[in-house]
Amino acid sequence: MKIIVVGGGKVGFAIAAETTREGHDVTIIDNDRETVERLSAALDAMVLYGNGAALAVQKDAGVEDSDLLIAATAQDELNMICCILARKLGCPNTIARVRNQEYHEELYLLRKELALSMTINPDGASAREIFRLLQFPGFLKRESFDKSRVEIVALALKPDNLLCGKTLAELPRLLRQKVLVCAVQRQGEAFIPGGGFTLQAGDEIYVTAPVTELARLLENLGLRTRRARDVMIIGGSRCAAVLAVLLSKAGGNVKIVEKDLERSRQLAERLPNVTVLCADGSSQQVLRSENISKMDAVVTLTDMDEENIIISMYANSVGVPQAITKINRTEYNSVFQSCGIECMVSPKDLCAQEVIRYVRAMQNTNAESVLSVHYLVGGKVEALEFEVGEDTPHLGQKLSEIQLKPNILLACISRKGRPIFPSGGDWLQKGDTVVVVTGANRVIVELRDIFAD
């Protein structure tokens, strides 16, 4: 497909990188010459200098012949103008990055008039992801499937974890529940393991389980199960404001530390149920005086990765049970993990995932098109959800009789709302939804792509 991306910042770059990796014809428009030069050197895509909201620039980029335009500049209004103009030129699909929460109700009412196929909001997506992680503090990541009935969760194996030294085939007996390890990260390398794979201390494992079994899974592993109630947020960003609202509604005690006086006043006015402190959240003295060691969780949401990392490391050192760190430079994730930063959230990556899911659905409109796609193991593994259609190959045939392509795992079958962790005696039938795990270097557009024949 031909895709136009307006804006080459963090979000625009991530979207362009992922769509290019999947083989699409991508053109990026940006009005900063240094950014244009950087993008040209970093991506296998056409890069155009200019104002993405200008008619002449969009025509030069070939918007009238494109399949999708994604406006991801830092200005909401500019993004909406880009999408309106693209639709006028004949582009059938448009996505706008909209950060201002105040626009969301208006966008819902005016989506047709504004010619928007979808909107993406890095701050809102990050806040929702962090909120979900705070509900089950033992997990590093949570990815939902089958209308949130099934999840793939990430766990770090400490040396004292009962799973260390055990094969995957032994897990159901040890945990006294049916779960499936669908991916493992070990020393930066990704594995899609079989039953004979032996787990080791230091592994980050991705486990498929029904959402109703998550608390029991943590309990069986001896991990902390109580959701975070007292939460300190460092940095008063838009994401912090959205997260504070979610936590307050759930009965949490939230404290935001923001060093800018005017922003602190705005937050205090908007969030009457939240404690807002105007102070430097990177100062140990400030953190100690605010009893950081008594918190259930600390979330670092400043604009600087380095500051977020250092504060999270300090929180870990004083015994805070859960530290969640916002990271933009995700290429250094393995380095951060080696420093004890385990639970990370990347706004740009969350938005890129939303866009990739939409793009793959555009590619195939039959019953086998992808319903959702999530990246695991730092983007090295994909988990995709499909609906089984009447034309899906091998319906009713035992899985033991079917050959899948190499490095592909059927992680879960959901039948009438009931999750099934498949064995050789199970089968696929029309109406099932299935979760497929595979290496990210293999692009799967429809379910039939997983079969060897």
Report how far residue 448's alpha carbon sits from residue 453's, in angstroms, rounded to the nearest whole number. 9
pTM strictly above 0.75: yes
3-class DSSP string for 241-254: HHHHHHHHHCCCEE
The closest alpha carbon to 428, from 416, 413, 438, 418, belongs to 413
Residue 154 · residue 376 · CB < 8 Å: yes
Residue that the structure tokens 């109580």 belong to: 226
Q: Average of pLDDT values for 293-318?
A: 95
| pLDDT tens digits along 91-141 | 999 999 998 877 766 666 666 667 688 889 999 999 999 999 999 888 989
Burial of 126 (0-12, 13-18, 19+ CB in 10 A): buried
Q: Determine the longest span between alpha carbons in the chain, in angstroms.
A: 66
Task: Name the more confident of 378 and 74.
Answer: 74
Whether the Cβ atoms of residue 305 and residue 282 lie closer than 8 Å to each other: no
**Angle 347-363/122-135 helices, nearest 10 degrees?**
110
Q: In this predicted model, what pLDDT tens digit does every residue of 173-213 receive, in sequence order?
A: 888 888 899 999 998 889 999 889 999 999 999 999 998 88
Write down how long the chain is. Answer: 453
C-alpha 191/C-alpha 160 separation (Å) is 22
Average of per-residue pLDDT across 38-65? 95
Domains with residue ranges and CATH for the chain: 2-120 (3.40.50.720), 126-220 (3.30.70.1450), 230-320 (3.40.50.720), 350-450 (3.30.70.1450)
pLDDT tens per residue, range 198-209: 999 999 999 999
